[in-house]
Amino acid sequence: MTISGEDDLQRLRDIGRIVAMVLRRMAEAMEPGMTTAELDAIGRALLEREGARSAPEACYNFPGATCISINPEVAHGIPGDRVIAAGDLVNIDVSAEKDGLFADNGGSFVVPPSTARLDSLCGDGRKALAQALLAVRAGRPLDDIAMRVGRFARRRGYSQIHNLLSHGVGRTLHDEPREIATSHGLPDRGPDQRLMADGMVMAIEPFLSTGAEWAEQGADGWTLLADDPASFTVQYEHTVVVTRRGPIILTLEA
């Protein structure tokens, strides 16, 4: 999507604020002994209170309001009867629609007590997203995002999940521009020389891992699993609008 005026921007800011609030509240509510279905119910109630609807449900008939993935589950985990335990690494992905526009937001969190290794991974995951956002500027190639994140990951000794991509968002959950890489690990794919345009709306979500490089389809048809089950993977995501001065981050609470 490319915004067409101030009305688009304000509606995107509204849904961006909502998904950011829901993500924060779900992370704060998470505790050992809670099931992922109970955590998802909190997210659903908050979305409904704000007049928003779950994007995975609306667009893909996903069996949950949010995606909740634990440990070797990299993404798209289905909420259910799984019990969250102390020390789990949990990824929460909240995407929703209101007034015809969509925003997408995600983050990874450790259920206390954590470890120094997981704390470092989460901190570096946030820094990887910050590096990606530094590359977002109208007139620059999309490949700048992959270059920045890739350099950061290599310098810190992490692998990347090559087949999980960022994407356009706005009028639907996965909008143009489609398939924005944050690494150079996909076969038969060269540098992405498409240019970022003023007003383009994107969901930027790099994945950092302690060993995995690929996400494999699980038996439930939704959950994506790390190809290295002993590894840990984090994802942090913002929805942004591209401008000539850099990104406008939409998924922030006022």
pLDDT digits (tens, 9 = 90+) for 94-107: 999 999 999 999 99
Computed over its alpha carbons, how large is the radius of gyration of the chain? 17
**Distance (Å, whole) CA 88 – CA 122:** 13
Coil, strand or helix: which one is 179?
strand
Is it the case that residue 187 has pLDDT exceeding 90?
Answer: no
**Distance (Å, whole) CA 226 – CA 207:** 11
Whole-number pLDDT of residue 180: 97
Whole-number pLDDT of residue 160: 98
Q: Is the pTM of this model over 0.85?
A: yes
pLDDT digits (tens, 9 = 90+) for 3-45: 999 999 999 999 999 999 999 999 999 999 999 999 999 999 9
Is it the case that residue 138 has pLDDT exceeding 80?
Answer: yes
Distance between start and end Cα atoms, the chain: 23
Tokens representing 60 are: 């893909």
Cα distances (angstroms) measured from residue 252 to each of 57, 66, 137, 241: 23, 18, 19, 13
Is it the case that residue 51 has pLDDT exceeding 80?
Answer: yes
pLDDT digits (tens, 9 = 90+) for 153-179: 999 999 999 999 999 999 999 999 999
Is it the case that residue 189 has pLDDT exceeding 90?
Answer: no
**Distance (Å, whole) CA 121 – CA 117:** 6
Q: Which residues contact 146 (CB under 8 A, 6 or more apart)?
A: 181, 182, 183, 184, 191, 192
Nearest by Cα to 69 from 243, 196, 179, 224: 224
Whole-number pLDDT of residue 134: 98
What is the pLDDT of the chain when averaged over all its residues?
97
Is it the case that residue 254 has pLDDT exceeding 80?
Answer: no
Q: Report percent pLDDT > 90 for the chain.
A: 97
pLDDT band at 240 (very low <50, low <70, confident <90, very high): very high
Q: What mean pLDDT is predicted for residues 245-251? A: 98
